[in-house]
């Protein structure tokens, strides 16, 4: 892995946006290997001295600004972007290389070959980061462009609010006046007929006028139940780019970059141990390192292999127990695991799902929010209701009590 230090945040983004490919090409050729490149802000990098005041005889323009200009800041805020999600801190490896390359290509040549672009993959593999990176780079290249990033949930809520307030004209103006529309987690419009109807017309309007569309999904859109065929055809007619779970080398690079961002100087043996124990998602890597850092700070213990085993080992065991619980319940009720994690509300899935929530809360002490995320992004109030319901059933229904005990024995007895 190669780290390139920059004197400021803006310099980092500017250099990475324009010269990443050329730098990587040269380094790969010189070293005769595939390199992972990280651009970072380093206080030890000496910034170039300020040029003398420009005059007619000596006109000078600084190569880099020290920060985003106010207009760019306003555009980023209006586009609903998180400033930390840029290409400069998106770590590239074998599992996300295609998606990254296509995303960069869109910035260079939008409205052309890859429209629409749909990036798909599991939870926490970097889809949101990549979508927002596209939006950031797009705005840096085209300051006057109209860009909006939103979740499919936000699109739905905006539409519902517009209908209630009789402001559909404003809603259509907001979404159809864009040069670049990015919608995250498109799978959540499946089964929502009104949302799909409006989304279909918004898609057609923008696409027909040569505007760029970028989406993310947790799976190939062809696998989405409840999604209209005409929308599937629109997605499948564009560019699909899958992001797989990060491999060991990419996990190590992500952990190293995050450790440096936290100001930590960790021995590589620590990085390797964390990479082996954490995952598969980027989000779990970041969360694990954050937990380790917090425990180290609160207990004044040095981060070593012993602390890694204490903090991460215990978490990993708890996570593995949660996965085992899902598999046992799936087998016990003869239901596909994917259905238990889906949004399906058919009666056969309700009780098994509620038992999972109950045991995650009472046996593994997961928070309601964590359980909601673990089971496909449900609302935490649904989890609270389910846990309370199963508690009452266990107390008052002998058959349900017996089922829960059998599942507990299968999961926690070994």
**Mind giving me the DSSP string for 2-32?**
EEEEESSHHHHHHHHHHHHHHHHHHHHHHHT
Residue ranges per structural domain of the chain: 1-46, 68-243, 248-412
- 3-state secondary structure at position 270: helix
The CATH H-level superfamily of 248-412 is: DnaA protein, C-terminal DNA-binding domain (1.10.1750.10)
CA distance 12 to 346: 50
pLDDT at 57: 43
Q: Where would I find the H helices in 211-362?
A: 229-236, 248-261, 268-277, 282-299, 305-332, 337-340, 347-362
Which tens digit of pLDDT belongs to each residue from 63-104?
433 345 667 778 888 898 988 888 888 888 888 999 999 999
Which tens digit of pLDDT belongs to each residue from 285-344?
888 888 888 888 888 888 888 888 888 765 555 566 777 888 888 888 888 877 777 777
pLDDT at 340: 79
Contact of 139 with 147, CB cutoff 8 Å: yes
DSSP readout, 97-124? HHHHHHHHHHHHSTTSSS-SEEEEESTT
Omega within 30 of 0 (cis) for the link into 116: yes
User: Can you list the residues of the chain whose pLDDT is less than 70?
Assistant: 9-10, 13-14, 17-18, 43-70, 280, 313-320, 377-378, 412-414
Cβ neighbours around 129 below 10 Å, total: 21
Architecture of domain 68-243 in this structure = 3-Layer(aba) Sandwich (3.40)
- Beta strands 180-184 and 147-151: pairing type? parallel
pLDDT at 400: 87
């Amino acid at each position: 892995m190669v780290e390139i230090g920059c004197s400021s945040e803006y310099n980092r983004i500017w250099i990475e946006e324009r010269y990443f490919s050329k730098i990587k090409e040269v380094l790969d050729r010189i070293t005769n290997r595939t390199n992972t490149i990280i651009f970072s802000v380093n206080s030890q990098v000496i910034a170039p001295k300020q040029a003398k005041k420009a005059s007619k005889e000596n006109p000078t323009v600084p190569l880099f600004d020290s920060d985003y200009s106010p207009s760019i800041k306003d555009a980023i805020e209006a586009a609903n972007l998180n400033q930390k999600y840029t290409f400069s801190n998106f770590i590239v490896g074998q599992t996300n290389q295609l998606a990254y390359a296509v995303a960069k290509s869109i910035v260079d040549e939008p409205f052309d070959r890859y429209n629409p672009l749909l990036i798909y993959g599991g939870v926490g593999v970097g889809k949101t980061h990549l979508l927002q990176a596209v939006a950031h780079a797009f705005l840096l290249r085209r300051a006057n462009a109209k860009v909006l990033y939103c979740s499919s949930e936000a699109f739905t809520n905006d539409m519902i609010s517009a209908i209630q307030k009789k402001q559909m004209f404003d809603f259509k103006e907001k979404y159809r006046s864009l040069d670049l529309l990015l919608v995250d987690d498109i799978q959540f419009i499946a089964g929502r007929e009104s949302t799909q109807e409006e989304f279909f017309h918004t898609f057609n309007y923008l696409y027909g006028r040569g505007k760029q569309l970028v989406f993310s999904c947790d799976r190939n859109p062809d696998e989405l139940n409840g999604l209209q065929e005409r929308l599937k055809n629109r997605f499948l007619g564009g560019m699909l780019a899958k992001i797989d779970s990060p491999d060991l080398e990419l996990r190590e690079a992500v952990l190293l970059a995050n450790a440096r961002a936290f100001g930590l100087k960790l021995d590589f043996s620590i990085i390797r141990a964390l990479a082996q124990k954490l995952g598969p998602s980027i989000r779990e890597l970041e969360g694990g390192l954050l937990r380790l850092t917090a425990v180290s700070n609160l207990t004044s213990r040095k981060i070593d292999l012993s602390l890694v085993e204490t903090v991460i080992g215990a978490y990993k065991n708890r996570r593995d127990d949660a996965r085992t619980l899902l598999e046992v319940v799936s087998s016990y009720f003869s239901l596909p695991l994917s259905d238990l994690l889906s949004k399906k509300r058919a009666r056969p899935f309700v009780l098994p799902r509620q038992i999972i929530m109950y045991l995650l809360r009472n046996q593994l002490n997961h928070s309601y929010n964590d359980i909601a995320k673990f089971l496909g992004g449900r609302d935490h109030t649904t989890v609270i209701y389910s846990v309370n319901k199963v508690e009452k059933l266990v107390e008052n229904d002998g058959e349900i009590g017996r089922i829960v005990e059998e599942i507990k024995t299968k999961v926690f007895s070994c």
